[in-house]
Chain A
Amino acid sequence: MSSWINLYNISYAIGEFLMGIVAAILNFFGQWIGPLSDFADWLMSVNVLNLVAIFIGGAAVMVFVSIINLFIIMWIERKMYGRIHDRRGIMLPGPWKKTHKGTGFLQNLADGMKLIQKELITPKNADKWMYDIAPAIIATTSILAFVAIPFSETFYVANINAGLIFILAILAIAPLAVVLAGWSSNNKFTLIGGLRGAALMLSYEIPLILSVIGVILLSGSLNPIEIVHAQQQTSVLGVENWYIIPLFPAVIVFMVALFAELERLPFDLPEAEAELVEGWLTEYSGMRFGLVFVSKWVRTYAGAALITILFLGGWSGPVLPGELWFIIKSYIVFVIIVWATWSFPRSRIDQIVRIGWNWLIPIAIISIVIAAAFKWVGWF
Protein backbone atom coordinates (compact mmCIF):
# COMPACT_ATOMS: atom_id res chain seq x y z
CA MET A 1 0.00 0.00 0.00
CA SER A 2 1.34 3.35 -0.93
CA SER A 3 2.13 5.45 2.05
CA TRP A 4 0.92 8.51 0.19
CA ILE A 5 -2.74 7.91 1.06
CA ASN A 6 -2.84 8.83 4.70
CA LEU A 7 -5.00 11.16 6.68
CA TYR A 8 -2.38 13.85 6.76
CA ASN A 9 -1.78 13.87 3.04
CA ILE A 10 -5.49 13.83 2.27
CA SER A 11 -6.00 16.70 4.68
CA TYR A 12 -3.07 18.47 3.09
CA ALA A 13 -4.63 18.04 -0.35
CA ILE A 14 -7.99 19.29 0.86
CA GLY A 15 -6.32 22.21 2.60
CA GLU A 16 -4.31 22.99 -0.51
CA PHE A 17 -7.47 22.93 -2.60
CA LEU A 18 -9.40 25.17 -0.22
CA MET A 19 -6.52 27.54 0.25
CA GLY A 20 -6.06 27.55 -3.52
CA ILE A 21 -9.60 28.84 -3.96
CA VAL A 22 -9.04 31.51 -1.33
CA ALA A 23 -5.73 32.44 -2.86
CA ALA A 24 -7.28 32.67 -6.32
CA ILE A 25 -9.92 35.05 -5.03
CA LEU A 26 -7.31 37.07 -3.20
CA ASN A 27 -5.09 37.14 -6.27
CA PHE A 28 -8.03 38.36 -8.31
CA PHE A 29 -8.42 41.35 -6.00
CA GLY A 30 -4.66 41.61 -5.74
CA GLN A 31 -4.66 43.03 -9.22
CA TRP A 32 -5.78 46.27 -7.60
CA ILE A 33 -4.67 45.91 -4.03
CA GLY A 34 -1.09 44.72 -3.92
CA PRO A 35 -0.73 43.37 -0.34
CA LEU A 36 -3.55 40.86 -0.90
CA SER A 37 -1.40 39.00 -3.41
CA ASP A 38 1.37 38.76 -0.84
CA PHE A 39 -1.15 37.47 1.67
CA ALA A 40 -2.31 34.84 -0.84
CA ASP A 41 1.27 33.76 -1.39
CA TRP A 42 1.70 33.43 2.37
CA LEU A 43 -1.45 31.33 2.59
CA MET A 44 -0.11 28.97 -0.02
CA SER A 45 3.22 28.57 1.80
CA VAL A 46 4.07 25.13 3.17
CA ASN A 47 3.94 26.10 6.84
CA VAL A 48 0.41 27.45 6.65
CA LEU A 49 -0.75 24.50 4.60
CA ASN A 50 0.73 22.15 7.18
CA LEU A 51 -1.19 23.94 9.89
CA VAL A 52 -4.42 23.81 7.90
CA ALA A 53 -3.85 20.12 7.15
CA ILE A 54 -3.43 19.37 10.85
CA PHE A 55 -6.63 21.31 11.59
CA ILE A 56 -8.56 19.41 8.94
CA GLY A 57 -7.17 16.03 9.97
CA GLY A 58 -7.83 16.79 13.61
CA ALA A 59 -11.36 17.83 12.79
CA ALA A 60 -11.89 14.59 10.89
CA VAL A 61 -10.74 12.52 13.85
CA MET A 62 -12.81 14.64 16.22
CA VAL A 63 -15.87 14.16 14.07
CA PHE A 64 -15.26 10.46 13.93
CA VAL A 65 -14.47 10.01 17.60
CA SER A 66 -16.92 12.37 19.19
CA ILE A 67 -19.89 12.10 16.84
CA ILE A 68 -20.02 8.96 14.74
CA ASN A 69 -18.09 6.65 16.99
CA LEU A 70 -19.53 8.11 20.18
CA PHE A 71 -23.10 7.56 19.08
CA ILE A 72 -22.27 4.02 18.05
CA ILE A 73 -20.61 3.04 21.32
CA MET A 74 -23.26 4.72 23.44
CA TRP A 75 -25.87 2.88 21.45
CA ILE A 76 -23.96 -0.39 21.82
CA GLU A 77 -23.69 0.06 25.56
CA ARG A 78 -27.31 1.01 26.09
CA LYS A 79 -28.62 -1.78 23.92
CA MET A 80 -26.20 -4.24 25.44
CA TYR A 81 -26.98 -3.57 29.05
CA GLY A 82 -30.63 -3.49 28.20
CA ARG A 83 -30.21 -7.02 26.97
CA ILE A 84 -28.23 -7.97 30.06
CA HIS A 85 -31.12 -6.62 32.12
CA ASP A 86 -33.56 -8.71 30.13
CA ARG A 87 -35.23 -5.70 28.59
CA ARG A 88 -35.16 -4.15 25.16
CA GLY A 89 -33.15 -1.04 25.84
CA ILE A 90 -33.61 2.13 23.83
CA MET A 91 -35.88 1.64 20.84
CA LEU A 92 -38.07 4.59 19.90
CA PRO A 93 -36.04 7.39 18.31
CA GLY A 94 -34.39 5.65 15.42
CA PRO A 95 -33.99 6.29 11.77
CA TRP A 96 -35.99 3.22 10.87
CA LYS A 97 -38.94 1.73 12.73
CA LYS A 98 -40.48 3.92 15.38
CA THR A 99 -42.03 1.02 17.24
CA HIS A 100 -40.91 -1.14 20.10
CA LYS A 101 -38.89 -3.12 17.56
CA GLY A 102 -36.93 -0.05 16.51
CA THR A 103 -33.24 0.43 17.03
CA GLY A 104 -33.36 3.62 19.02
CA PHE A 105 -30.13 4.73 17.43
CA LEU A 106 -30.88 8.43 17.78
CA GLN A 107 -31.86 8.24 21.46
CA ASN A 108 -28.53 9.68 22.52
CA LEU A 109 -28.94 12.56 20.13
CA ALA A 110 -32.34 13.25 21.67
CA ASP A 111 -30.83 13.08 25.15
CA GLY A 112 -28.13 15.50 24.11
CA MET A 113 -30.72 17.91 22.73
CA LYS A 114 -32.56 17.71 26.01
CA LEU A 115 -29.40 18.37 28.01
CA ILE A 116 -28.53 21.38 25.85
CA GLN A 117 -31.94 22.90 26.57
CA LYS A 118 -31.56 22.54 30.31
CA GLU A 119 -30.53 25.32 32.60
CA LEU A 120 -26.94 25.46 33.75
CA ILE A 121 -27.18 25.74 37.49
CA THR A 122 -24.23 27.02 39.48
CA PRO A 123 -24.53 26.57 43.24
CA LYS A 124 -24.58 29.82 45.13
CA ASN A 125 -21.40 29.25 47.09
CA ALA A 126 -19.53 27.39 44.39
CA ASP A 127 -16.13 28.54 43.21
CA LYS A 128 -17.42 29.63 39.87
CA TRP A 129 -14.23 29.52 37.82
CA MET A 130 -13.15 26.10 38.96
CA TYR A 131 -16.68 24.83 38.74
CA ASP A 132 -17.04 25.95 35.14
CA ILE A 133 -13.66 24.79 33.96
CA ALA A 134 -13.67 21.25 35.36
CA PRO A 135 -16.02 19.68 32.75
CA ALA A 136 -14.13 21.48 30.01
CA ILE A 137 -10.84 19.99 31.22
CA ILE A 138 -12.28 16.51 31.28
CA ALA A 139 -13.88 16.80 27.86
CA THR A 140 -10.86 18.32 26.14
CA THR A 141 -8.33 15.94 27.61
CA SER A 142 -10.51 12.97 26.72
CA ILE A 143 -10.77 13.96 23.08
CA LEU A 144 -7.15 15.11 22.95
CA ALA A 145 -5.99 11.58 23.64
CA PHE A 146 -7.14 10.64 20.15
CA VAL A 147 -4.56 12.96 18.63
CA ALA A 148 -1.96 10.29 19.25
CA ILE A 149 -4.12 7.20 18.81
CA PRO A 150 -3.72 5.89 15.27
CA PHE A 151 -6.74 4.18 13.80
CA SER A 152 -4.66 2.64 11.06
CA GLU A 153 -1.38 2.96 9.21
CA THR A 154 -2.66 6.12 7.62
CA PHE A 155 -5.54 7.38 9.72
CA TYR A 156 -4.03 9.45 12.50
CA VAL A 157 -3.62 13.08 13.40
CA ALA A 158 -0.08 13.13 14.66
CA ASN A 159 2.64 10.54 14.58
CA ILE A 160 4.28 11.35 17.90
CA ASN A 161 7.39 9.44 18.84
CA ALA A 162 6.45 9.17 22.50
CA GLY A 163 2.77 8.85 21.67
CA LEU A 164 2.06 6.26 24.35
CA ILE A 165 3.37 8.55 27.06
CA PHE A 166 1.32 11.38 25.63
CA ILE A 167 -1.89 9.30 25.72
CA LEU A 168 -1.34 8.06 29.26
CA ALA A 169 -0.39 11.52 30.44
CA ILE A 170 -3.36 13.23 28.88
CA LEU A 171 -5.74 10.65 30.31
CA ALA A 172 -4.16 11.19 33.73
CA ILE A 173 -5.17 14.85 33.83
CA ALA A 174 -8.78 13.91 34.58
CA PRO A 175 -8.25 13.29 38.34
CA LEU A 176 -7.23 16.92 38.66
CA ALA A 177 -10.53 17.99 37.14
CA VAL A 178 -12.40 15.54 39.34
CA VAL A 179 -10.88 17.00 42.49
CA LEU A 180 -11.49 20.47 41.13
CA ALA A 181 -15.14 19.73 40.44
CA GLY A 182 -15.63 17.99 43.76
CA TRP A 183 -14.07 20.81 45.72
CA SER A 184 -15.55 23.74 43.90
CA SER A 185 -19.17 22.51 43.99
CA ASN A 186 -19.28 23.26 47.72
CA ASN A 187 -21.23 20.13 48.49
CA LYS A 188 -20.27 17.38 50.91
CA PHE A 189 -21.14 14.58 48.53
CA THR A 190 -19.08 16.07 45.72
CA LEU A 191 -16.20 16.63 48.09
CA ILE A 192 -16.13 13.01 49.19
CA GLY A 193 -16.58 11.90 45.59
CA GLY A 194 -13.78 14.11 44.34
CA LEU A 195 -11.32 12.94 46.97
CA ARG A 196 -12.29 9.34 46.34
CA GLY A 197 -11.76 9.92 42.65
CA ALA A 198 -8.32 11.37 43.28
CA ALA A 199 -7.29 8.50 45.56
CA LEU A 200 -8.61 5.91 43.14
CA MET A 201 -7.16 7.30 39.96
CA LEU A 202 -3.80 8.10 41.46
CA SER A 203 -3.39 4.66 42.94
CA TYR A 204 -4.40 3.01 39.68
CA GLU A 205 -2.10 5.06 37.48
CA ILE A 206 0.79 2.94 38.72
CA PRO A 207 -0.45 -0.51 37.65
CA LEU A 208 -1.76 1.03 34.44
CA ILE A 209 1.68 2.29 33.49
CA LEU A 210 3.52 -0.76 34.84
CA SER A 211 1.40 -3.03 32.67
CA VAL A 212 2.39 -1.07 29.59
CA ILE A 213 6.12 -1.42 30.26
CA GLY A 214 6.12 -5.01 29.04
CA VAL A 215 4.80 -3.84 25.70
CA ILE A 216 7.47 -1.17 25.49
CA LEU A 217 10.15 -3.75 26.28
CA LEU A 218 8.98 -6.15 23.60
CA SER A 219 8.38 -3.60 20.88
CA GLY A 220 11.23 -1.33 21.77
CA SER A 221 9.19 1.78 21.01
CA LEU A 222 6.86 4.30 22.54
CA ASN A 223 5.26 5.12 19.24
CA PRO A 224 1.84 3.43 18.87
CA ILE A 225 2.41 2.88 15.16
CA GLU A 226 5.77 1.24 15.80
CA ILE A 227 4.22 -0.92 18.51
CA VAL A 228 1.65 -2.20 16.02
CA HIS A 229 4.38 -2.75 13.43
CA ALA A 230 6.29 -4.81 15.96
CA GLN A 231 3.20 -6.93 16.53
CA GLN A 232 2.72 -7.53 12.82
CA GLN A 233 5.98 -9.49 12.57
CA THR A 234 5.61 -13.23 12.59
CA SER A 235 6.77 -14.90 15.72
CA VAL A 236 7.99 -18.42 16.50
CA LEU A 237 4.39 -19.57 16.70
CA GLY A 238 3.90 -18.85 13.03
CA VAL A 239 1.25 -16.19 13.56
CA GLU A 240 1.48 -12.49 14.19
CA ASN A 241 2.81 -11.99 17.66
CA TRP A 242 0.06 -9.96 19.25
CA TYR A 243 1.19 -9.13 22.72
CA ILE A 244 -1.95 -10.56 24.30
CA ILE A 245 -0.27 -13.98 24.11
CA PRO A 246 2.97 -13.33 25.97
CA LEU A 247 1.61 -10.52 28.11
CA PHE A 248 -1.75 -11.91 29.14
CA PRO A 249 -1.28 -10.90 32.81
CA ALA A 250 -0.55 -7.38 31.66
CA VAL A 251 -3.81 -7.29 29.68
CA ILE A 252 -5.73 -8.24 32.81
CA VAL A 253 -3.97 -5.58 34.86
CA PHE A 254 -4.48 -2.99 32.16
CA MET A 255 -8.16 -3.84 31.87
CA VAL A 256 -8.77 -3.68 35.63
CA ALA A 257 -6.82 -0.46 36.01
CA LEU A 258 -8.77 0.93 33.10
CA PHE A 259 -12.04 0.31 34.93
CA ALA A 260 -10.76 2.41 37.80
CA GLU A 261 -9.43 5.05 35.44
CA LEU A 262 -12.76 5.26 33.65
CA GLU A 263 -14.82 5.16 36.85
CA ARG A 264 -16.76 2.23 35.55
CA LEU A 265 -18.95 0.14 37.68
CA PRO A 266 -16.96 -2.24 39.84
CA PHE A 267 -14.80 0.77 40.63
CA ASP A 268 -17.15 3.69 40.15
CA LEU A 269 -16.71 4.93 43.71
CA PRO A 270 -16.25 8.61 42.86
CA GLU A 271 -19.80 8.72 41.62
CA ALA A 272 -21.35 5.86 43.55
CA GLU A 273 -24.90 6.93 42.93
CA ALA A 274 -26.37 5.02 45.83
CA GLU A 275 -24.26 6.59 48.55
CA LEU A 276 -22.96 9.87 47.13
CA VAL A 277 -25.97 10.76 44.98
CA GLU A 278 -23.90 11.34 41.81
CA GLY A 279 -20.54 11.81 43.50
CA TRP A 280 -18.51 14.71 42.19
CA LEU A 281 -21.06 15.24 39.42
CA THR A 282 -23.91 15.98 41.82
CA GLU A 283 -24.19 19.71 41.25
CA TYR A 284 -23.67 19.71 37.50
CA SER A 285 -26.67 20.18 35.29
CA GLY A 286 -27.47 20.61 31.64
CA MET A 287 -24.72 20.30 29.09
CA ARG A 288 -21.96 20.57 31.70
CA PHE A 289 -23.17 17.27 33.01
CA GLY A 290 -23.61 16.07 29.45
CA LEU A 291 -20.01 16.91 28.59
CA VAL A 292 -18.64 14.92 31.48
CA PHE A 293 -21.04 12.09 30.84
CA VAL A 294 -20.15 11.87 27.19
CA SER A 295 -16.45 12.16 27.79
CA LYS A 296 -16.69 9.08 29.98
CA TRP A 297 -17.63 7.16 26.84
CA VAL A 298 -14.90 8.88 24.89
CA ARG A 299 -12.42 7.81 27.54
CA THR A 300 -13.81 4.30 27.53
CA TYR A 301 -13.30 4.14 23.80
CA ALA A 302 -9.80 5.54 24.23
CA GLY A 303 -9.12 2.70 26.68
CA ALA A 304 -10.50 0.11 24.29
CA ALA A 305 -8.43 1.58 21.47
CA LEU A 306 -5.32 1.49 23.65
CA ILE A 307 -5.87 -2.17 24.45
CA THR A 308 -6.32 -2.84 20.76
CA ILE A 309 -3.10 -1.08 19.87
CA LEU A 310 -0.99 -2.43 22.70
CA PHE A 311 -2.15 -6.01 22.89
CA LEU A 312 -4.42 -6.95 20.01
CA GLY A 313 -2.25 -6.06 17.05
CA GLY A 314 -3.95 -2.78 16.25
CA TRP A 315 -5.28 -2.69 12.71
CA SER A 316 -3.61 -5.86 11.52
CA GLY A 317 -5.92 -8.50 10.09
CA PRO A 318 -6.68 -10.21 6.83
CA VAL A 319 -8.88 -9.12 3.91
CA LEU A 320 -10.69 -6.19 5.46
CA PRO A 321 -9.13 -2.73 5.54
CA GLY A 322 -7.12 -1.86 8.61
CA GLU A 323 -9.47 0.81 9.90
CA LEU A 324 -12.31 -1.68 9.96
CA TRP A 325 -10.22 -4.24 11.80
CA PHE A 326 -9.26 -1.63 14.33
CA ILE A 327 -12.87 -0.67 14.92
CA ILE A 328 -14.02 -4.29 15.15
CA LYS A 329 -11.36 -5.12 17.71
CA SER A 330 -11.90 -2.02 19.79
CA TYR A 331 -15.67 -2.56 19.80
CA ILE A 332 -15.18 -6.11 20.99
CA VAL A 333 -13.01 -4.82 23.83
CA PHE A 334 -15.64 -2.19 24.55
CA VAL A 335 -18.38 -4.83 24.70
CA ILE A 336 -16.29 -6.83 27.17
CA ILE A 337 -15.93 -3.71 29.29
CA VAL A 338 -19.70 -3.13 29.19
CA TRP A 339 -20.38 -6.74 30.05
CA ALA A 340 -18.15 -6.63 33.11
CA THR A 341 -19.57 -3.27 34.13
CA TRP A 342 -23.12 -4.51 34.38
CA SER A 343 -22.47 -7.76 36.19
CA PHE A 344 -20.46 -6.69 39.22
CA PRO A 345 -21.38 -4.89 42.39
CA ARG A 346 -19.51 -1.78 43.42
CA SER A 347 -16.51 -2.36 45.63
CA ARG A 348 -15.25 -0.31 48.52
CA ILE A 349 -12.44 2.23 48.43
CA ASP A 350 -10.15 0.38 50.81
CA GLN A 351 -10.75 -2.88 48.98
CA ILE A 352 -10.00 -1.26 45.66
CA VAL A 353 -6.77 0.26 46.84
CA ARG A 354 -5.82 -3.05 48.41
CA ILE A 355 -6.51 -4.89 45.16
CA GLY A 356 -4.41 -2.32 43.35
CA TRP A 357 -1.36 -2.61 45.57
CA ASN A 358 -1.55 -6.26 46.56
CA TRP A 359 -2.53 -7.84 43.28
CA LEU A 360 -2.28 -5.61 40.27
CA ILE A 361 1.20 -4.22 40.86
CA PRO A 362 2.81 -7.64 41.53
CA ILE A 363 1.08 -9.09 38.46
CA ALA A 364 2.22 -6.13 36.38
CA ILE A 365 5.79 -6.64 37.58
CA ILE A 366 5.56 -10.34 36.74
CA SER A 367 4.44 -9.41 33.27
CA ILE A 368 7.47 -7.14 32.91
CA VAL A 369 9.68 -10.05 33.92
CA ILE A 370 7.94 -12.28 31.38
CA ALA A 371 8.46 -9.67 28.69
CA ALA A 372 12.12 -9.34 29.58
CA ALA A 373 12.54 -13.11 29.50
CA PHE A 374 10.93 -13.36 26.07
CA LYS A 375 13.11 -10.57 24.82
CA TRP A 376 16.22 -12.24 26.25
CA VAL A 377 15.36 -15.60 24.70
CA GLY A 378 14.68 -13.78 21.50
CA TRP A 379 11.22 -15.14 20.80
CA PHE A 380 9.69 -11.73 20.26
Chain B
Amino acid sequence: MKGTEVAGALREHFGDLVSDIVFPREDLVRVSVPRDSIFPFCKFLRDELHCEHLNLVTALDWPEDFECVYHLTSYLEEYMVELHVKVPKDDPKIASLSEIWRAADFPEREAYDMMGITFEGHPDLRRILLPDDVDYYPLRKDFEGQSDE
Protein backbone atom coordinates (compact mmCIF):
# COMPACT_ATOMS: atom_id res chain seq x y z
CA MET B 1 0.00 0.00 0.00
CA LYS B 2 1.34 3.43 -0.87
CA GLY B 3 1.54 6.20 1.66
CA THR B 4 -1.02 8.22 -0.26
CA GLU B 5 -3.59 5.44 -0.04
CA VAL B 6 -3.07 5.17 3.69
CA ALA B 7 -3.45 8.91 4.06
CA GLY B 8 -6.59 8.78 1.96
CA ALA B 9 -8.09 6.06 4.11
CA LEU B 10 -7.25 7.98 7.27
CA ARG B 11 -8.62 11.20 5.87
CA GLU B 12 -11.82 9.43 4.87
CA HIS B 13 -12.37 7.91 8.28
CA PHE B 14 -11.23 10.73 10.53
CA GLY B 15 -11.78 13.84 8.45
CA ASP B 16 -10.15 16.97 9.75
CA LEU B 17 -8.63 15.30 12.77
CA VAL B 18 -5.73 14.23 10.58
CA SER B 19 -3.47 17.11 9.73
CA ASP B 20 0.02 17.92 8.48
CA ILE B 21 0.19 14.97 6.11
CA VAL B 22 3.70 14.60 4.66
CA PHE B 23 5.20 11.79 2.60
CA PRO B 24 8.94 11.64 3.30
CA ARG B 25 9.17 8.37 1.38
CA GLU B 26 6.79 6.55 -0.88
CA ASP B 27 5.72 4.04 1.75
CA LEU B 28 5.87 6.37 4.72
CA VAL B 29 3.20 8.79 5.82
CA ARG B 30 3.74 11.34 8.55
CA VAL B 31 0.57 12.67 10.13
CA SER B 32 -0.44 14.65 13.19
CA VAL B 33 -3.48 13.84 15.25
CA PRO B 34 -4.91 15.54 18.34
CA ARG B 35 -4.24 13.98 21.68
CA ASP B 36 -7.81 12.89 22.38
CA SER B 37 -8.23 10.79 19.26
CA ILE B 38 -4.98 8.86 19.47
CA PHE B 39 -6.58 5.71 20.84
CA PRO B 40 -9.37 5.28 18.26
CA PHE B 41 -6.94 6.35 15.57
CA CYS B 42 -4.48 3.61 16.44
CA LYS B 43 -7.25 1.08 16.86
CA PHE B 44 -8.42 1.91 13.36
CA LEU B 45 -4.89 1.62 12.02
CA ARG B 46 -4.44 -1.75 13.58
CA ASP B 47 -7.83 -3.29 12.90
CA GLU B 48 -8.57 -1.86 9.46
CA LEU B 49 -5.18 -1.06 7.96
CA HIS B 50 -3.18 -4.00 9.34
CA CYS B 51 -0.61 -2.06 11.34
CA GLU B 52 0.71 -5.04 13.28
CA HIS B 53 3.92 -3.60 14.52
CA LEU B 54 4.64 -0.67 16.81
CA ASN B 55 8.27 0.20 16.22
CA LEU B 56 8.87 2.77 18.87
CA VAL B 57 7.39 5.47 21.01
CA THR B 58 9.45 8.64 21.11
CA ALA B 59 8.83 11.46 23.50
CA LEU B 60 10.09 14.86 22.38
CA ASP B 61 10.54 18.04 24.34
CA TRP B 62 9.85 21.06 22.14
CA PRO B 63 10.09 24.57 23.60
CA GLU B 64 6.29 24.96 23.67
CA ASP B 65 5.02 21.47 24.31
CA PHE B 66 5.84 17.79 24.44
CA GLU B 67 5.29 15.55 21.50
CA CYS B 68 4.83 11.81 21.24
CA VAL B 69 5.90 10.19 18.02
CA TYR B 70 4.70 6.70 17.19
CA HIS B 71 6.25 4.72 14.40
CA LEU B 72 3.91 2.06 13.12
CA THR B 73 4.59 -0.59 10.52
CA SER B 74 2.37 -2.82 8.50
CA TYR B 75 4.33 -5.86 7.43
CA LEU B 76 1.42 -7.09 5.34
CA GLU B 77 0.74 -3.91 3.38
CA GLU B 78 4.33 -2.70 3.53
CA TYR B 79 3.91 0.85 4.68
CA MET B 80 4.82 2.91 7.71
CA VAL B 81 2.98 5.58 9.62
CA GLU B 82 4.71 8.20 11.69
CA LEU B 83 2.21 9.61 14.12
CA HIS B 84 2.86 12.94 15.82
CA VAL B 85 0.80 13.87 18.85
CA LYS B 86 1.25 17.12 20.72
CA VAL B 87 1.02 16.94 24.50
CA PRO B 88 0.79 20.20 26.46
CA LYS B 89 3.48 20.85 29.03
CA ASP B 90 1.16 21.72 31.87
CA ASP B 91 -0.82 18.50 31.49
CA PRO B 92 1.54 15.78 30.16
CA LYS B 93 -0.98 13.01 29.77
CA ILE B 94 -1.87 10.79 26.84
CA ALA B 95 -3.83 7.61 26.36
CA SER B 96 -1.78 4.44 26.54
CA LEU B 97 -1.67 2.19 23.50
CA SER B 98 -0.71 -0.93 25.42
CA GLU B 99 -4.23 -2.28 25.01
CA ILE B 100 -3.81 -2.20 21.25
CA TRP B 101 -0.23 -3.39 21.03
CA ARG B 102 1.39 -5.04 23.99
CA ALA B 103 4.60 -3.84 22.38
CA ALA B 104 3.76 -0.33 23.59
CA ASP B 105 4.20 -1.39 27.19
CA PHE B 106 7.93 -0.94 27.61
CA PRO B 107 8.47 2.03 25.26
CA GLU B 108 5.72 3.95 27.08
CA ARG B 109 7.32 3.18 30.39
CA GLU B 110 10.57 4.45 28.97
CA ALA B 111 8.94 7.63 27.76
CA TYR B 112 7.42 8.13 31.18
CA ASP B 113 10.78 7.46 32.77
CA MET B 114 12.74 9.81 30.57
CA MET B 115 10.28 12.59 29.76
CA GLY B 116 7.63 12.40 32.43
CA ILE B 117 4.64 11.89 30.18
CA THR B 118 1.88 9.94 31.89
CA PHE B 119 0.23 7.27 29.81
CA GLU B 120 -3.31 6.85 31.05
CA GLY B 121 -4.57 3.30 31.13
CA HIS B 122 -1.13 1.79 31.17
CA PRO B 123 -1.20 -1.40 33.23
CA ASP B 124 2.13 -0.92 35.00
CA LEU B 125 3.49 2.60 34.67
CA ARG B 126 6.72 2.57 36.64
CA ARG B 127 10.19 3.78 35.90
CA ILE B 128 12.03 1.24 33.83
CA LEU B 129 15.64 2.33 33.32
CA LEU B 130 16.14 4.64 36.27
CA PRO B 131 15.65 3.67 39.91
CA ASP B 132 12.22 4.14 41.38
CA ASP B 133 13.25 6.91 43.74
CA VAL B 134 14.61 9.52 41.33
CA ASP B 135 12.46 12.63 40.98
CA TYR B 136 13.65 14.07 37.67
CA TYR B 137 13.09 13.36 34.00
CA PRO B 138 16.51 13.42 32.39
CA LEU B 139 15.63 13.82 28.74
CA ARG B 140 13.74 17.06 29.28
CA LYS B 141 15.64 19.99 27.89
CA ASP B 142 15.52 21.88 31.18
CA PHE B 143 17.23 19.01 32.98
CA GLU B 144 20.78 20.11 33.67
CA GLY B 145 22.84 16.99 33.57
CA GLN B 146 26.58 16.90 33.77
CA SER B 147 28.08 17.61 30.40
CA ASP B 148 31.57 16.59 29.45
CA GLU B 149 32.78 20.19 29.27
A and B touch in the complex (CB under 8 A): no
Interface residue ranges, A against B (CB under 8 Å): none
